[in-house]
Structures are given as C-alpha cells and as structure tokens.
Amino acid sequence: METANLHGRFLPSRVFSRWKWTVRFGLLILPLVLFLAGALQLYFSPSRYLSRTVFEITNGPSLRETEELLRAENVLARVSEKLDLPRRLDLDRDNCVAGIRSSLETRILKDTRMIRLEVTRTRNIDARDLAEEIPRSLVGYLAESMTANSERKVAELERLATAQADRAKELSNKWIKLEEVHGKQPADPGAATAIDRARRAALAAEVEVERLGSLQQAERTRLIDHLPRLVVHTAPVIGSKPEGPKSGEEMGRLVVICLIWALAAALLLPYLFELAFPPATGRQKPPAPVIDL
C-alpha cells in the first residue's frame, strides 16, 4: 500500500497541479529572462564585418589539403607577419594566429577547384586585408617549400656530379698513363685489354657526369614550371554592412535556446520540488499509551 502511494505521488497530474507556479516560471519568466540577457549581450557585442574571396591554386595540393593548410600554423604566422598584426592589434604572435584561425571559414565550391574564403572581423579593413593575404601567404608558403625541396635535390645532384667528375678525371689519367707506357695500340693483348677497359671506364664516367648535370637543369626547369600560382576569381572588398552577432541567424538561435530551456524547466522543476518537499500526508502514529503507576 505504501509503495502504491509512493508511485502515485509522482503522477504528472498530481505533481503539476501541486507545483503550478514552477510550470509558469519555466514557461514564462525563465525564457523571458534568458532572452533579455542574450539580447543585451548581442546588442552590446561589437559589430563584425565579413569579407569574402573566391580563389584557386594551380599546381597546388588537393582541395582538402589546401583547406587544411589555410589554417596551418606556418601559413597564418606568415599572414600575421605580412600584415604586422602584432603591432596593429597589440597582441603577441600566438594570439594573432589563434584570432585569425577563429575568424575564417572555408568552403570548396562544388564541381570546381575553387575555394571560398570568408573572414569576419570587428574592423572591415582587417577583414578585407586578411581575406586578401591568407591565399597569398599560402601560395608563398607552398612555393618556398617546393623551392627548398628542389634546392636540396639540386645540391645533392651537384655533390654527386662533383664526385663523379673527380672519378672521371682519375680514370682518364689512368687511361692516359697506360697509353704512355704501352702505346695506343700495344702488341701485348693484356696491355691492350687494360687500355680498352680504362678507356671505356673513363668515357662512362664522363657520360655519368653529363647525365647528372642534365638532371640538375631538369630539376630547375621543373621547379619553374610547377610552382603554385594563385588565381583570384572574386577579390575581397571592404564591407560596409556589419555581419555576425546582430544578424537574424543569431537571434533565431537565441529564441530556440530560450524555448528549449523553458520546456526543460517546466518539465523538470515540478519533479525536483516534489522530491525536495514531499507532501505531508499519511497516517500519523498513535500516541504512546500512558501507564499510570
């Protein structure tokens, strides 16, 4: 019987009828307070300006890799240095990079190799400068990386060519000395064979030197032909209309959040109060009998 009364105590009809004021608070007062607080926060938030650019990079990495590189530490650090943001914003390098990363959005345009980059900042000139400089810095970073790799390859080929040239000179000297000792066409078959081998080894070494030189030139030409290039389809402009916190999208999000909290409060608060303050019902214990001594 007591178990049945315990379960019946939490029936919605009983709980909500007992704690009607919590339901009214959750549906009326709480969302109003939340909405006013959020609206004031949006009202006093600084206006933000949006600048947009559409671009593509030829001879560059894949589109997904390009999107990732747009947020890379090295690229954004170049942007910060090029625009002198630490001085302009009075921030250190790390905070400048974090601020740039949080203010940009990227999107790959369908069925194209173009990327749309959007930057939102509190100053319209900062938004325009960042949207313009980020793709440039990415191309500069890619070009420097490719140039560094190519220079390492050329330096290695040059080292091999120098070593091979020294070897070719030694083999050529050996060939000349053999001819000086035995003559150019000796009668001794063994001497003739030795001279022929020395001649062929010297010529093969010289051919290898020429091949390594050709590879160096080919690497330099390949670098020039395959350097990434920036193609801007839509140049960023200085926006004249503020975007962001005061837009209808943010207000709509605020209304939805207030409604969710209102429903949650209206449904949960009555049960929380019911648990904290149970009704004073039930049979009272009879008074203890008094024994007359």
pLDDT single digits (tens) 63-77: 999 999 999 999 999
Banded model confidence at residue 289, pLDDT cuts 50, 70, 90: low
- Residue appearing with tokens 């080919």: 218
Is the per-residue pLDDT at 136 higher than 60?
yes
- Report the candidate in 130, 119, 214, 97 with the shortest Cα–Cα distance to residue 164: 214
Is the per-residue pLDDT at 19 higher than 90?
no
Is the per-residue pLDDT at 211 higher than 90?
yes
Query: Burial of 172 by CB count in 10 Å (0-12 exposed, 13-18 middle, 19+ buried)?
Result: middle
pLDDT single digits (tens) 216-237: 999 888 888 889 999 999 998 8
pLDDT single digits (tens) 102-125: 999 999 999 899 999 999 888 888
| Average pLDDT value for the chain | 82
User: Tell me, which fold does domain 48-243 have in CATH?
Assistant: Bacterial polysaccharide co-polymerase-like (3.30.1890)
Q: How far apart are CA 195 and CA 197, in angstroms?
A: 5
Amino acid at 179: E
Q: Is the pTM of this model over 0.75?
A: no
Extract long-range pairs of 161-169: CB within 8 Å, 24+ residues apart. Answer: 161/209, 161/212, 161/213, 161/216, 164/205, 164/208, 164/209, 164/212, 165/209, 167/205, 168/202, 168/205, 168/206, 168/208, 168/209
What pLDDT does 137 receive? 94
What pLDDT does 156 receive? 93
In the chain, where the domains are located: 18-45+248-271, 48-243
**Number of residues in the chain:** 293
**Could you tell me if 245 and 45 are in contact, meaning their C-beta atoms sit under 8 angstroms apart?**
yes
